[in-house]
Structures are given as structure tokens and as C-alpha cells.
Amino acid sequence: MKKTILLLLLPYAVMAQNTSIKNIDFKADSVIKLMTLEEKIGQLNQLSIEFATGNKDGSAALNYYEESVRNGTVGSFLNTPNLDYKIKLQKIAMNESRMKIPIIFALDVIHGYKVIAPIPLAQSCSWDLKAIEKSERVAAEMASADGVHWTFAPMIDVTRDPRWGRVMEGSGEDTWLGSKIAVARVKGFQGDDLSKNNTILACAKHFAAYGAAEAGREYNTVEISERQLREVYLPPFKAAADAGIGSFMNSFNTISGIPSSGNKHLVKDILKTEWNFKGFVVSDWASISEMLNHGVAKDTMDVARLAMVNQTSDMDMEGMAYIKSLKKLVEQGKVPEANINDACKRILKAKFALGLFQDPFKYFDKKRKEASLKNPEYPLASRDLAKKSMVLLKNDNNILPLKKSIKSIALIGAFANSKKDRDYMSFWTFGAEQKNVINLYEGIKNKVNATTQIFVDTLCGKVDCQQNAIEKAVQTALKAEVVVLAVGENGERNGECRSRSEINLPGNQQALIRAVLKTGKPVVLVLFNGRPLTLKWENDNVPAILEAWQPGTEAGNALAEVLFGDYNPSGKLTMSFPYALGQIPVYYNQLPTGRPLVKPNEMWKSTFSDIPNEPLYPFGFGLSYTKFSYSDVALSASEININQTLEVSVTIKNIGKYDGEEIVQMYIRDLVAEVSRPVKELRGFEKIYLKAGESKKVTFKLTAEDLKYWNSDLVYKADLGDFKVFVGGSSVDVTEKVFSLK
Ligand code: GLC
């Protein structure tokens, strides 16, 4: 026995120490040659350590996990909450299993770890790719210090339906911006070298088109054309794959009736063959087994066969389909062992790339963990991104910014002074330290003069505050110079399995707003939410509205900087806010239709009879405390050929009295193509800082590459012909020019 162990250890020792062997392929192949079929299948099996998710199964479950590691029938865990237990499991793998293959530990680090960043949808409204990358870098620093090797992020589903609870996890409705943000997140997590201690494996999810679930209902059917799949939903995944992301995750949904976990066209043909993706694909939670419910397999054996024959899932997350059935399927000749070898190799390569074979304990560094929890840079990075993510939606009579010397201020509403978990964070907050969250009251208290009186209403501590509480809140409002109403929906109302059929302010928060408005006091509405809401009444009646989203650990400090003008809000919406629920789906890059509405209330045009076509707040919209004027939009030529570059320039001037940032946007429109093209498509942006009175010329570059689309033969190419280019501060506030591709 000893001899066998020694023989086994030899190849690792050689490979691990001998860094000259660059070829991880060779290393993985060498290990696979030593493995039994059961051990290879074990690497495809991932278990969730339940007590991280609440149901403490006690010792029975723990013995099961440890036995599985000992027997080599598990290769990965998710949701393992504490470092000591990870160390224990890894020691069993390294000292008691036959093959001594290191375990890879995963967790949903979706927007920060311990220090929670704003939700990804909020982050996307900053349009600040560097700040977003830095946020994931910080998350990777903190998570890797606590034994997380692999995060199930970024979620890069394009979303056009705010009824879906998971829009909070994505980057909104635009494919092109979503692709840029996906790359920034991959770079943040994986850095430039996965083998470093502070970089972690990322995971592009959910592949694919999960955001197109019918009616925004969670886990619902997706019925889209191949064109829409390729044009709208796949590009962010292709960008992540091209950026070197190490893993993908299947989505729960079907596309044209085929569940992603068994969708050969989507995973084997497009991802693994057409895109030549060499990483591995993990199922979503039991999504392989769920093919039974989808009705495309008759039993557990069949779901495992379907996924492995089609090579659509390399790792089975918590579904037990592979570990229960694959050995028998191979013995019955129903699944080629070569497919299992391929899946196993993809996973082993990731473990080699992370350096886990070289040092299985490299991420278990308690000193680094303690240091990371004290690093002041991390909360500051979160605060920076939080304030850049906030969007000023309305500011009549320039109520905002407030003065720090203000005599008194009333803070009213469920989010005024909450210490409840997820009120400022979202559904995905594993590892969050709720005690460290700075709430709105604390942030404002840190900001204003000591003489300022802050009246905090605590009776409306929840969204369903009763009439008597509302009357008390009115009394609080009457005492103050200005009222800040803190309302919204907390992390229990959005996130996974939190689709809503109504997307107004939940509870009777609107009744509270009405009552407080009646006092005649200046009112600032601060929204804490994880999705676009229907705010028509609020927009008609409240003079100032600030979208704060779910800002994370530094919520109060970031908000205080914005409310009191230390930071001039610069965020721009990446997802349209519908005018009404019935308008959904509404997004800026719609097709023109055969009867485009030109003027309001035209008859026999594509429109509603009772509401406008435009959303309440459009994509790319966001106000500032200052004003920016756009002028001198000019093209370097009126036409280009397929090898030339068109320069589109514009001058922006800060004509207000506050310094501030402006996100200058550039869109195109293909006027005549083989298929109908969107009325606008974002193809460039630049975030600039201008002092009051300062102006700057911004120049965008366009090439034929930017003009490509999936034509009538589903070939991705640009047509010769005429185009429009639009430049402005939102998708609706633009100046247009025309040019041709010759
Ligand atoms: C969930 C989510 C997925 C997450 C996984 C592990 O069901 O769909 O995004 O990464 O399970 O928690």
C-alpha cells in the first residue's frame, strides 16, 4: 500500500514543484491516468455544506461530507461557511483519500464579501469599469483570504423585465455595456494570474438567457429566436469567455423547449466548440436533475445520460445525478468514458491553474483573513462605488444638495434607521457583517454639523406602517426644515425566487409619502430597491428623488456624501423604469415596427391608448447637481469603408455651478439591413469630470466592427449602407448625424 501511495505522490510532486512544465493539460492528463472511473466521477460531484444556508443537519451531514471526501466521491463544496471546516475537509482529501486531489471550495460572492458592495445593477449605473473591476478585486482579496477558491459570479444575464427578482444581480438591459462590465468583473476576480493567493476562479452565469424568463417569473420558460439569443443574450458570455473566465454555469431555464443543462446546441456546439471554451461548466443547483421536471428525461439515470452524452454539464451541483448514475451508464455503454475524462480534465485543469495541487492550503491563511477584515481601503472602495452608482432621478427647485449647516432634518421610513439584515444589502450577502453596515441615520449623523437636529421616525420601521404610525411620522416631519423619506424594497423582495407581479413601492409607503407631502415641507425621496419600480405618482408629486439601490456596507456614508453635495451624483440608469407595469418589457433598443410612433397620441401607430411608449426614466438617464451642454457634434467623414475608422466628436460644457462627472453616450442605428434593427444601439461611452464652467471635447471611434449584426442567414457581419450616430447624456437626449459604410 505504502508503495502505491508513494508512486501516486510522485507525479504531483514532480508536476507541482517542477514549474517548468507549463502545460496544465499534461498535468491533468497524468493525474487522470491514475484515477479509477469512480474517482473521475467524484470530481464531477459538488455538494453544498448545508449549514451555511441555514438548515444545520448536524453530525450526520458532516460525516457524510467527510466520508465522501475520504472515498473520493466529491471534488467540490459550496456554501462552506468557516475556514476551519474547509481546512478539515482539505486535510481529509490530502491525507486520507487515495488520489489526494485537492477540493475546490465555491461561494456566491456576488457583490463583495464581508464588506458588501452595492448590488451589481447599482454598480452598472456607475458606468465606471475601473471601479467595478476594483470592487471585484476587493471581493476576491477578502474571499480568497477566507478559503474561497471559486465564486459563482459574475451574473451576466441581460434583463429587460423588472418583475424578475434577479435583475439586481446583473448589469441591466444593454448587451454591449453588459459585455464590458462582464470583462471588468472577470479581471477583478481572476486578476492576471489565477495561481496567486488573492485571485479566485470566476463563473459566467447563467448560461443562457435566464433573464428572458416569460413574465419575469422565476425559473420560467424562455422562448427566444436564435437571433435574439445571439444578438442580445450571448455576447456578454462570449466576452467573458474571451477574457479567460474559468467556468460557466448552466441556467435553469429551457430555450425553445430544451433545458440548458442538456442543451447540446447551446453548450457543446456554441460554448465548447464554436467558442472553443476550455474551462468547465457547472450545473446550477440540481439543474441536471431538474430535467426530470422539464419532462425531457424519464429518470435520474436519464438526466445524467442526457447531460454527459451532450457534454453540457461537467460538474453536478448538489444534484447527485452524476454520482448515482454515471458509473452504471458507462458500464452499460450509454455514456462514453471519454466524456467523463473530458469533464474531469476540465475541472482538474482549474485546480492546477489555481495552484491547489501545489499547495492545497494556500487560501487558508488566517493572518491574511484577519488583516483583510481590518483593511480600511476595502470599505472605502465600497463607498466610492456606492456613491457613483446612485442616480438622481428628480431635483426640482434644487432641493438637493442639502446644506451641512441645516438646522434640522427628519428621517422617515423603513430605511431611515434600519439595522435589519438586507435592508441596505441584497439577497446575496454570504459573509456579510450586518453589524458593520452604516445606515442612513448614521451616515447623516457623521456628516452634518453637531448643532443639526436629526429627528428620526422609528415607528414606520417597516414598509407596512399603520395609520397611527403615519400620523406620528407627520408630526416628526413638521418639526424639521427638510424631510428625507427612506423607502423601497429590501433584500427579501428581490434576488432569487423573488419575482413580483407589482413593482410599485411595497406596503403602504405611498400613503406615508402622501401624508408627509401634505405638511408642505421640502421632501427628498431616497429609494432603496433592487429593481426598476413603477414610480409615476412619486415622480408627479415628490420634488426630489434619489435612486440609492441597495448600497451595501457603506450605505449611509455614501448617501450622506451625495445628499450633502460632497459627491455630485453621476449615475445613469442601465435599466429602464417603466411608466406602468403594463408597459413591460420596455427597453431603449427596441425595433422600430412598421408603424413607429412619431408624435404622442397618433392613431394607427404602435402605441398604447392610455400611456406613452417611453419609459418613465429611460436607459442612460440620470441628473446631476450641475448642468452639461452638448455642442459641436461632428463626424470626421460622411462615409467610411470597412477598413476605416470614423471619429465622432462632441463638446461638453459644465454650465452649472457644481463640478461633476458626466457619462457621455454614443449610439448608432443601422437604417437599412437584412433584418429590422433597433432604433438605437449603445456603441460607446466616456465618463468625464468637468469643473463648473469647464468644457471638453470627447471623441468616439467607430469601425465596421461596431456596425455588425446577425443577418438574415445568421451570419455576423456589417452591411454597406447608411447609419445614424447619436451622442448625448442619455438614450433620449441626443444629437444625431448620418454617415455611410461604403
Ligand atoms: C442558485 C442560483 C445560482 C447560485 C447557485 C449556488 O440557485 O441560481 O446563481 O450560484 O444556486 O448558490
Beta strands 660-670 and 681-690, pairing class: antiparallel
Shortest-distance Cα residue to atom 8 of ligand 1: 284
pLDDT range class, residue 464, cuts 50, 70, 90? confident
pLDDT range class, residue 492, cuts 50, 70, 90? confident
Average pLDDT of 423-450? 91
- Pocket flag, ligand 1, residue 427 (CB < 6 Å): no
Question: Domain spanning 389-583 has what CATH number?
Answer: 3.40.50.1700
Q: Can you tell me the distance from the alpha carbon of 40 to that of 19, in angstroms, rounded to the nearest whole number?
A: 25
Centre of ligand 1 to C-alpha 109, Å, is 11
Which percentage of the chain shows pLDDT scores above 90? Answer: 89
Q: Can you tell me the distance from the alpha carbon of 700 to that of 664, in angstroms, rounded to the nearest whole number?
A: 10
pLDDT range class, residue 19, cuts 50, 70, 90? very low
Residue 728 one-letter amino acid: G
Average pLDDT of 114-120? 97
Residue 153 alpha carbon, nearest atom of ligand 1:
10
pLDDT range class, residue 82, cuts 50, 70, 90? confident
Chain segment 704-717, per-residue pLDDT in tens: 999 999 999 999 99
Q: Can you tell me the distance from the alpha carbon of 498 to that of 505, in angstroms, rounded to the nearest whole number?
A: 15
Residue 169 alpha carbon, nearest atom of ligand 1:
9
- Pocket flag, ligand 1, residue 157 (CB < 6 Å): no
- pLDDT for the residue numbered 411: 97
pLDDT above 60 (res 27): yes
Beta strands 45-48 and 76-78, pairing class: parallel
pLDDT above 90 (res 97): yes
Shortest-distance Cα residue to atom 1 of ligand 1: 285
C-beta neighbour count of 280 within 10 angstroms:
25
Q: Which of 77, 79, 107, 108 for mutating ligand 1's site (highest number of atoms within 8 Å of CB)?
A: 108
- Pocket flag, ligand 1, residue 166 (CB < 6 Å): no
- pLDDT for the residue numbered 465: 82
Shortest-distance Cα residue to atom 7 of ligand 1: 285
Q: Which CATH number fits domain 628-741: 3.10.150.10, 2.40.170.20, 2.60.40.10, 1.10.10.10?
A: 2.60.40.10
- Pocket flag, ligand 1, residue 365 (CB < 6 Å): no
Centre of ligand 1 to C-alpha 153, Å, is 10
- pLDDT for the residue numbered 380: 97
Of 128, 157, 174, 284, the catalytic one is: 284
Average pLDDT of 208-231? 98
Identify any residues that bridge with 48 across adjacent strands, giving them in sequence order. 78
- pLDDT for the residue numbered 263: 98
pLDDT range class, residue 409, cuts 50, 70, 90? very high
pLDDT above 50 (res 55): no
C-beta neighbour count of 443 within 10 angstroms:
24
Burial class (CB in 10 A: 0-12, 13-18, 19+), 400: buried
pLDDT range class, residue 58, cuts 50, 70, 90? low
For residue 334, give the C-alpha cell: 450509454
Centre of ligand 1 to C-alpha 284, Å, is 6
C-beta neighbour count of 556 within 10 angstroms:
24
- Pocket flag, ligand 1, residue 218 (CB < 6 Å): no
Which percentage of the chain shows pLDDT scores above 70? Answer: 95
Average pLDDT of 550-578? 98
- Pocket flag, ligand 1, residue 415 (CB < 6 Å): no
pLDDT above 60 (res 16): no
- Pocket flag, ligand 1, residue 108 (CB < 6 Å): yes
- Pocket flag, ligand 1, residue 496 (CB < 6 Å): yes
- Annotate 311-334 with DSSP letters as a single string: T--SBEES--HHHHHHHHHHHTTS
Q: Which of 50, 166, 285, 426 for mutating ligand 1's site (highest number of atoms within 8 Å of CB)?
A: 285
- Annotate 65-111 with DSSP letters as a single string: HHHHHHHT---EEE----HHHHHHHHHHHHHHSSS-PPPEEEE--SS
Q: Where are the domains of the chain?
A: 38-101, 389-583, 628-741
Residue 206 alpha carbon, nearest atom of ligand 1:
9
> Among candidates 91, 108, 183, which has minimal Cα distance to 152?
108
Average pLDDT of 523-538? 98
pLDDT range class, residue 431, cuts 50, 70, 90? confident
Chain segment 392-408, per-residue pLDDT in tens: 999 999 999 999 999 99
Average pLDDT of 71-77? 98
pLDDT above 90 (res 426): no
Chain segment 247-301, per-residue pLDDT in tens: 999 999 999 999 999 999 999 999 999 999 999 999 999 999 999 999 999 999 9
Chain segment 655-669, per-residue pLDDT in tens: 999 999 999 999 999
- Quote the mean pLDDT of the chain: 94
Centre of ligand 1 to C-alpha 285, Å, is 6
- pLDDT for the residue numbered 21: 42
pLDDT above 90 (res 57): no
Average pLDDT of 440-445? 97
- Pocket flag, ligand 1, residue 430 (CB < 6 Å): no
Number of residues that this document lists for the chain: 742
pLDDT range class, residue 59, cuts 50, 70, 90? low
- Pocket flag, ligand 1, residue 152 (CB < 6 Å): yes
Q: Can you tell me the distance from the alpha carbon of 402 to that of 522, in angstroms, rounded to the nearest whole number?
A: 11
Residue 155 alpha carbon, nearest atom of ligand 1:
9
Query: Poorest-confidence range of 43-52, 234-243, 350-359, 685-694?
Result: 43-52
Q: Is 242 a catalytic residue?
A: no
- pLDDT for the residue numbered 433: 82
- pLDDT for the residue numbered 63: 85
pLDDT above 70 (res 30): yes
Shortest-distance Cα residue to atom 3 of ligand 1: 284
Centre of ligand 1 to C-alpha 274, Å, is 26
pLDDT range class, residue 351, cuts 50, 70, 90? very high
- Pocket flag, ligand 1, residue 318 (CB < 6 Å): no
- Pocket flag, ligand 1, residue 127 (CB < 6 Å): no
Give the three-class secondary structure for 453. Answer: strand
Centre of ligand 1 to C-alpha 292, Å, is 19
Shortest-distance Cα residue to atom 11 of ligand 1: 285
Centre of ligand 1 to C-alpha 334, Å, is 29
- pLDDT for the residue numbered 22: 59
Stronger pLDDT, 12 or 656, i.e. the higher one? 656
For residue 128, give the C-alpha cell: 465606471
pLDDT above 60 (res 5): no
pLDDT above 50 (res 20): no
pLDDT above 80 (res 50): no
Centre of ligand 1 to C-alpha 533, Å, is 24
Query: Poorest-confidence range of 54-58, 245-249, 368-372, 519-523?
Result: 54-58
- Pocket flag, ligand 1, residue 447 (CB < 6 Å): no
In angstroms, how far is the first alpha carbon of the chain from the final one? 74
User: Do residues 400 and 392 lie in contact, with contact meaning Cβ atoms separated by under 8 Å?
Assistant: yes
